[in-house]
Structure 1
Amino acid sequence: MKQFIDQLGTVHVFENTPKRIVSLVPSQTELLYDLGLEDQIAGITKFCFHPFHFKSTKTIVGGTKQVKLDKIIALQPDIIIANKEENTLEIVKELERICPVWVTDIVTIEDNLKMIEDFGLIFNKRTNAQKWIDKIVFAWEDFKIFIENKPTFKVAYFIWANPYMVAGGGTFINELLKLNHFENIYDNNPKYEGRYPEIVFQKMRIQGDPEILFLSSEPFPFKDEHAFELGRHTHHAKTIFVDGEMFSWYGTRLLKAFEYFKLLHSKL
């Protein structure tokens, strides 16, 4: 009998190491795979793109906001992996009737490292988890040196259009923006509270007048026309299409993100 506490403070007790996993979070599916748990992963979402072959080898149980309960029940999972931001409280409560639902809550890099450590303990993959933690911490320290003397830019990070929505404060995206010396004009903006506020893009000049507009590759497929429309309402801000996975995915993806950020700075 082993007891663990997830990042929402919920206590979980397992008689044995969980052997059948359903993951409702794309980035955490990738993490589970990287920890050597491919054979234990039974179900994933339709948005779990990495690793690619899971689409044909694992059962798709729906999306992150809507799941197919019958499919999950049929998989007889020992544990379901969810996330406070990706999945709704209603889904979590419903799934708790099937088996323990482990909910992560990632805002900082430290939160991310704690998640990896937790998975290592729960699934008896401590050595693999520590290797990933060590690699991420080393890359993080290296990036801090890289970014130390880089200038600060005022930015807006767009995640959606029609209506336009941005990453605000209290998000993992915002933490990575700050790490990169990008000052998010919607971080702690009193007019636009919340993690992903809908904004009046025509007022960007008076909202903070960003120097750079980031258009994320997910969850919305931004196009050139969006860049043009947004750019018209700034004082000549530079518009850059960015890989949303590098800014928003938790887990092992962060290791690749540090190298991606270095390349991004070379374009500024």
Structure 2
Amino acid sequence: MQKTFTDQLGNKITINYPPKRIVSIVPSQTELLFDLGLADEVIGITKFCIHPIEKFASKTKIGGTKKLLIEKIRDLKPDLIIGNKEENTQSEVELLMQEFPVWMSDISNLEEAMLTINQIGELVDRAPEAAYLNHLINAGFKDLQTLAVEKNINQTVAYLIWKDPYMFAGKNTFIDDILRKIGLNNIIQQSRYPEIELSKLKTENCQLIFLSSEPYPFKQKHIDEIQSVLPNAKIMLVDGEMFSWYGSRLVKAVNYLFHLQDDLGVH
């Protein structure tokens, strides 16, 4: 059976439904597909699609999110490719679109992430499973927002994603929305991922600095470096997957963020 869908960039695709040969080129969406029960249908993934790890070894790797191995994808003859506007390279996606149905997401907040889960659920014939995941995510984040008020969490925060140069998560990003949902105020006003000198944060009187585990793998030694420039800030290593992976990882993120709120709460 053929079915037509519209992706989040407005592209119409027609696929053999339900799709039986899926290539996923975004780690968080790969994890979602496996959690929706598509262990057999997902045939190609990127080298960064490490969750769930027991599925990783058995699947064909088709390069990285920004540098796909187009020939390997061709060899797999997918009947559906699922990508994301920010994660993937436009020219590579456009090349694949000439040969295969490619469905693209475009996500900058939690609500859009939940919409994506629903839409991917419909796309792969797993709508009830997707609805259940969203039920858990919605309930969890409602509780997190309530607790942010109860625990009096309203500190200013800067979220570092890169070093040399220092780059931060700014406005109009998924990370910014998650910070806001747990009661924190992102001090970075610029859009997307600006480069900013640490000394600039000093004048902003930033209370918290989060060092993400990805894409740059920040470690304890970086806390010491940054603390010397910002002696008054509380600097913490945080799990980048919990702040930036949309998809079923958000179910696990709720529990992680509850514990983080406990650490930040004014007791």
Normalised by the shorter chain, which TM-score bucket? over 0.9
One-letter code aligned to 1:4: F
Distance in 2 (alpha carbons) for counterparts of 1:178 and 1:16 = 38
Distance in 1 (alpha carbons) for counterparts of 2:46 and 2:143 = 34
SS in 2 for 1:38: coil
- The 5 A counterparts of 1:75-86 are 75-86=76-87
- The residue number in structure 1 matching 2:91 is 90
SS in 1 for 2:53: coil
TM-superposed CA distance for 1:109, in Å, is: 1.3
- The residue number in structure 2 matching 1:20 is 21
- Paired residues of 1:17 and 1:122 also in contact (CA < 8 A): yes
One-letter code aligned to 1:238: K
Which stretch of the first structure deviates more once superposed, 156-165 or 90-99?
Answer: 90-99
- Paired residues of 1:2 and 1:13 also in contact (CA < 8 A): yes
Distance in 2 (alpha carbons) for counterparts of 1:27 and 1:40 = 17
- Paired residues of 1:204 and 1:233 also in contact (CA < 8 A): no
- The residue number in structure 2 matching 1:248 is 244
- The residue number in structure 2 matching 1:67 is 68
TM-superposed CA distance for 1:127, in Å, is: 1.3
Distance in 1 (alpha carbons) for counterparts of 2:251 and 2:201 = 33
Distance in 2 (alpha carbons) for counterparts of 1:56 and 1:83 = 23
- The 5 A counterparts of 1:1-268 are 1-149=2-150, 150-186=152-188, 188=189, 193-206=190-203, 208-268=204-264
> What TM-score do you get using the length of structure 1 for normalisation?
0.94
Percent identical among aligned pairs is 45
- Paired residues of 2:198 and 2:229 also in contact (CA < 8 A): yes
TM-superposed CA distance for 1:68, in Å, is: 0.6
Q: How many residues align?
A: 262
TM-superposed CA distance for 1:15, in Å, is: 4.2
Distance in 2 (alpha carbons) for counterparts of 1:209 and 1:77 = 51
> What TM-score do you get using the length of structure 2 for normalisation?
0.94
Distance in 2 (alpha carbons) for counterparts of 1:219 and 1:15 = 35
Deviations 1:98-129 (A, max 9, x none): 20111101111111111111111111111111
Which stretch of the first structure deviates more once superposed, 233-242 or 243-252?
Answer: 233-242
TM-superposed CA distance for 1:235, in Å, is: 4.6
TM-superposed CA distance for 1:232, in Å, is: 2.2
One-letter code aligned to 2:13: H
One-letter code aligned to 2:162: W
TM-superposed CA distance for 1:3, in Å, is: 1.9
One-letter code aligned to 2:22: I
- Paired residues of 2:17 and 2:124 also in contact (CA < 8 A): no
One-letter code aligned to 1:199: I
Distance in 1 (alpha carbons) for counterparts of 2:98 and 2:135 = 36
SS in 1 for 2:161: strand
TM-superposed CA distance for 1:156, in Å, is: 0.5
Distance in 1 (alpha carbons) for counterparts of 2:219 and 2:73 = 36
- Paired residues of 1:158 and 1:216 also in contact (CA < 8 A): yes
Deviations 1:160-188 (A, max 9, x none): 111111101100000000111111111x3
